[in-house]
Chains A and B, each alone.
Chain A
Amino acid sequence: MLDLFPIVVLLPLLGFLHNGLLKDRIPHRFAGAIGTLAVFIPFLITLGAFNEFNPMERTAPHLVPVFDWIVIGDFKTSFGYQIDQLSLYMTLIITGIGSLIHLYSMGYMKGNKGYNRFFSYLNLFIFCMLNLVLSDNLVLTFLGWEGVGLASYLLIGFDYDKSSAAEAGMKAFILNRIGDVGFILGTGFLYWLGGSLQYLTLQTNLSELSEFANYANLIALFFFIAAMGKSAQIPLYVWLPDAMAGPTPVSALIHAATMVTAGVFLIVRLNFVFFLAPDTSFFIACIGALTALFAATIGLLQNDIKKILAYSTVSQLGFMFLAMGSMSYVAGLFHLMTHAFFKALLFLGAGSVIHALHHEQNIKHMGKLFGKIKITSLTFLLGTLAIAGFFPFSGFFSKDLILEKTYTYGAFGSVLWTVGVVAAFFTSFYMFRLVFVVFFGKDNTDSHHKVHESPWTMTFPLVVLAVGAVGSGFFLTPHFFLHIDTLERYFAPILERGTILANQTGTYTKHTELNHGVEISLAAFSVGIASLGLILAYLIYQRKQSPILEEHTGFRKILFHKYYIDEIYDVLFVKPYVFLSKGIAYTFDIKILDRFFLGIGGSFGVIANGLRRLQSGFIGDYALYVVLGTFCILVYILTRGV
């Protein structure tokens, strides 16, 4: 299975080409099946490879070189895949949850005229994402990195005849490009120092380079800027909430399993850089904590069901980066997986609700759905319990691990921990607000339509994801509960080199072991916080149905308008940029550049027009030219000498 691995990447590409080229010449059902299988078969292969690789025992990665790609002098980049614990982990999540989302899309997109196009985009997305995580060098990773940017642009702007969707697509694309500058700079620096772009070679080269620690902070910062864009951290997060302009499965795919976690993946992949960069790491932790809190507060007052979930994604990503910054990479990856499950579940559940209510997205027009759409509401509830961090759902274990690691991280650990806990409280509150308003509370649905449960292609993924959202926490549990450390041991080989390096240079952040009493009280505290959110939401939205948070005055108005960040960006960046562009377009471009180049073209036109008259077609004329030419040459020779 390990040698078959390139097929994992190839199949989604073939699916993309098949559905993309044949477009509407094949029936929808067939295209959907092809698209789904193109992700599901790789999932099976990955499972096989996972067993064969034996990740708990084996430490060395398995390299699969495919072909040389760019060879210029000493510079060489190849298409090659590196199969190790990290890439297998990511691939399983991407293909596993990806195929569920594909299956779901078969039901959700039914009747959409862009059905086949949609599936080809989805496969392109998966293809790029797999390249991103499986690549053994930075250039191929960058190809995948840009590829998911492109695919997300296509998917977010899927309904391109709606200007909001088209604009959201562009927004995502452009904000990601800003981050990508960091990626390119970081890659350049790493090549300059390490003389290679292959992760493994870089790892060994850099560990022999004594002055590398001086640059590590800078390089780490560049890569973090890249991660900021892709993983929607402050200040580049604004594209993600708008990304829900695409069809719901797209939101699930982008938000849960794939693109936004690329930043987290990148940091772990380059952990040998980040381990040596304590200052940047602290910065990352601060940004992560801020993002978690900031997005959670915005989520409090949104009324669009998908927008609430979108802000919760931004917030959860903040948690992951909090873990990354406090150098507990395993905790971050753990949360990545649990989040993939419950966020995919929530988004698909939201899609199912939207589907049931005939494309109603405003939660004010929902209510009392519990029981009417049984599977959807039950699984949605499970997902909410998971994201809010209730024991023993998956979100509890991963979020608590992050908070615990943050607590023990350096001098400011407790401050960051406080921010994280407050964010967790808000998360619990707005998620239960959503649940109470949509599934319980007053019935505000448009009663003309009958509410109906979705087809099995949509509910089946929900059930599977719900199982994951409930159970996936048991890969890593705290000391006082079962004490499972599977993931810690699983990821040890990935982090080994970086840890050794960091120990040598003295930049290693040691997480002090908490005694069990403190650990239990931390966990109990966060469950208490989550319960507080639940109770508060219950009181406000279920019992009193108080409008306290719906009147948008004062600070609530600011919150409702998302701190006016979009407007601020508009004034600060977009407007001046547009102004400048217009200035350049109408003065420099049209008046100078265009005239210059059109002038060159035009003058050749004039000359040609003149010369055309010489070709009269009369023999006599040509003879005359010959004679005249001869005459001129003779005159020249006679006057100037030979």
Chain B
Amino acid sequence: MNPLINGIPIHYLLGLAGILFSIGVLGVLIRRNIVIIFMSVELILNSVNLVFVTFSKALSHINGETIVFFVMAIAAAEAAVGLALVIAIFRHKKSTNVDELQSMRW
């Protein structure tokens, strides 16, 4: 396993991925605006992508990068559907605050 990728140590990359992931999770948990939550989810996905790419390079194996393509494709699809939903909800509720979306609460 190659500990350096283009001269950058692998744990830097993994650390960055970890930070991005944490920021994403934190965003999902504490933000109320549904659009921001969406962006945070993208952040999570990208942090994972970064991990995949890193290991793919380090192990000189193509699998990780293949999965990244899948993830990106799915993220694109999800964004398309998700944003459509957001727009629909906004039209309905005139708000993007998730705490106000509680009509299914007991």
Binding site for B on A (CB under 8 A): 612, 615-620, 623-624, 627
Contact = CB atoms under 8 A, between A and B. Distances in A.
Interface string B18-59: 000000010011101000010000000000000000000000
Contact of B29 (A615, A616, A617, A627): A627
Contact of A618 (B28, B98, B106): B98
B92 interface: no
Contacts of B25: 627
B102 A620 contact: no
B76 interface: no
A623 B28 CA distance: 7
Contacts of B30: 620
B5 interface: no
A612 B102 contact: no
A615 B106 contact: yes
A618 B102 contact: yes
A620 B106 contact: no
B78 to A, nearest CB: 16
The interface size bin for chain B is 10 to 19
A41 B104 CA distance: 64
B105 interface: yes
18 contacts: A612-B106, A615-B105, A615-B106, A616-B105, A617-B104, A617-B106, A618-B99, A618-B102, A619-B37, A619-B98, A620-B28, A620-B29, A620-B32, A620-B98, A620-B99, A623-B29, A627-B25, A627-B29
Contacts of A620: 28-30, 32, 98-99
B101 interface: yes
Contacts of A615: 105-106
Nearest to A621: B29
A620 B30 CA distance: 7
Contacts of A616: 105
A617 B102 contact: yes
A627 B27 CA distance: 12
Contacts of B101: 619
A618 B32 CA distance: 10
B38 to A, nearest CB: 12
Interface in B90-106: 98-99, 101-102, 104-106
Given A612-B106, A617-B106, A624 B29 contact: yes
A623 B44 CA distance: 13
A408 B99 CA distance: 101
Contacts of A623: 28-29
Contacts of B28: 620, 623
Contacts of A617: 102, 104-106
A230 to B, nearest CB: 59
* 5 cross-chain pairs, A with B, having the tightest CB-CB distances, nearest first: A617-B105, A617-B102, A619-B98, A623-B28, A624-B29
Nearest to A619: B98
Nearest to A612: B106
Contacts of B105: 615-617
